[in-house]
Amino acid sequence: MFEHMVALQDIAFETIKPGRPCSHVDKAVRAYFDEHDLMSNWRHHTGHAIGLRYHEGPFLDSGDHAEIRPGMVFTVEPGLYAPDLGGFRHSDTVLVTDDGIEILTYYPRDLASLIIPA
């Protein structure tokens, strides 16, 4: 599940480009959910903008057709939630540039780095 979560976030990172609608990002992420039979583990949109508040539009959601533009800042956080296992969600903040994104946060994205030794 962790590797699927990383793959979902990578798809979102690769899909965020100026000129595309926000809905395009969520649809690409949902296509991965469909392809890997994970829709039962989906609970929320792929991400949202950050500005004056911490949750605000535009949203990386299939229903939000706002155009992605350079200078926008989004949190990218597609999640997987398995009832008998737990939730898997990694949130990173990105700045939209003229040709893609710049990741503004750094937190390890490999499972070994996230395990707290006993």
* CATH number of the structural domain spanning residue 19: 3.90.230.10
Supply the pLDDT for residue 92.
93
Domain-located, residue 118: no
Q: Give tens-digit pLDDT for 42-84.
A: 888 899 999 877 778 999 999 999 999 999 999 999 989 998 8
Indicate whether 111 pLDDT > 90.
no
For residue 8, give both structure tokens.
């979902």
Total number of domains in the chain: 1
Domain-located, residue 7: yes
Instruction: Write down how long the chain is.
Output: 118
Supply the pLDDT for residue 28.
97
Supply the pLDDT for residue 48.
95
For the question of whether the overall pTM of this predicted structure is more than 0.95, the answer is: no
**DSSP letter (8 states) at residue 100:** S
Domain-located, residue 83: yes
Domain-located, residue 32: yes
Interacting residues of 106 by C-beta distance below 8 A, sequence separation 6+: none
Indicate whether 86 pLDDT > 90.
no
Triad 47, 83, 9: Cα angle to 5°: 25
Supply the pLDDT for residue 116.
87
H or E element at residue 3: helix 2-15
Domain-located, residue 69: yes
Domain-located, residue 117: no
Supply the pLDDT for residue 54.
72
Q: Which domain holds residue 40?
A: 2-110
Over the chain, what is the mean pLDDT? Answer: 92
Domain-located, residue 116: no
Q: Is 105 exposed, middle or buried (0-12, 13-18, 19+ CB in 10 A)?
A: exposed
CB contact at 8 A, 60 and 46:
yes
Triad 107, 44, 82: Cα angle to 5°: 75
